[in-house]
Amino acid sequence: EMSEMSERSKQNVAHGLAWSYYVGYLKIVLPKVKNAMEEFSRANPNVPVCRETWKLHILVPLSCDVYDDLEKADSNIQYLTDLTETTLTRAGTKKRVYKHSLYMIRDEDKLWSCAVEYATPLQSLYAMSQDECAAFSREDRLEQAKLFYRTLEEILKGSKECTGTYRLIVYQESGEAETHSLSREILWHLQQQRWEEYAMHEENQPHNPSTALSSTELNLQISDSDLPQPLRSDSF
């Protein structure tokens, strides 16, 4: 009976996607990120790096709108190179390749290097909301995106091998056409990590950008509108 209720409410969709993403991908690649970044830094001493940000930055847009090309999403994000590949034989596939792309993020006259990518399961949630066979509405998609983030966050918090190797960047688009909103979102997190390193015990935290969301704000209440709405009272 509980299984049928969960099936009808689609509560199992995001939960399953989060666990699959972790077990089948993140648990494999995250422990290797810092070594890959260090290797790149040694080979490219002229490229600006910040050790506090030697992590995989995982983008989690609640709209589930995922760009395949980050450079087309925001011109302040420029592809630099790929980090060292991880090659494994897995599930019958010989020499399966896992890799991350390194980008330069422009902040006025300053450049930040950053390994960043979208959480790929969000593409599945988006596709389900576009497929009539899935009977998956936009409201369902928003709810599941929040649940996916919260589940993934809890999984990663409990993973010792992944400690300090990732940064989840959850955000909700304002709905307005902003040319550099994505790069600003990433930059805030890069700057925050550097600030946290040098002021870990400070009581006063800098304010979040209007689109940044914490896990406590990701309740599962769905808006009456069929479009995602801001989750903060101070959003604009």
Q: How confident is the model at residue 3, as a pLDDT?
A: 45
Q: Side chain identity at 187, as an amino acid letter?
A: L
pLDDT in 10s for each residue of the chain, 236 residues: 444 544 455 557 899 999 999 999 999 999 999 999 999 999 988 887 788 899 999 999 999 999 999 999 999 999 999 999 989 888 889 988 999 999 999 988 788 999 999 999 999 999 988 877 766 788 888 999 999 999 999 999 999 999 999 999 999 876 666 778 999 999 999 998 887 765 554 545 555 554 556 555 555 444 444 444 433 333 33
- Considering the entire predicted model, what is its pTM? 0.80
Q: Which of 36, 27, 16, 52 is nearest to 160 (CA)?
A: 27
Q: How confident is the model at residue 132, as a pLDDT?
A: 76
| Cα→Cα distances 172→117, 167, 218, Å | 16, 16, 11
Question: Residue 175: CA atoms inside 13 Å, Cβ hemisphere, count?
Answer: 8
Strand partners for 81: 102
Residue/partner pairs of 28-32 with CB below 8 Å, 24 or more apart: 28/86, 28/88, 28/98, 29/56, 29/86, 29/98, 29/100, 30/56, 30/161, 30/162, 30/165, 30/166, 31/161, 31/162, 31/165, 32/84, 32/86
Q: How confident is the model at residue 74, as a pLDDT?
A: 93
Task: Kindly list the structural domains of the chain, giving each domain's residue range(s) and its CATH number in brackets, ordered by start.
Answer: 9-200 (3.40.50.12100)
C-alpha to C-alpha distance for 9 and 147, rounded to whole angstroms: 12
Helix, coil or strand: residue 102:
strand
Q: How confident is the model at residue 28, as a pLDDT?
A: 95
Q: Which of 205, 162, 212, 166 is nearest to 187 (CA)?
A: 212
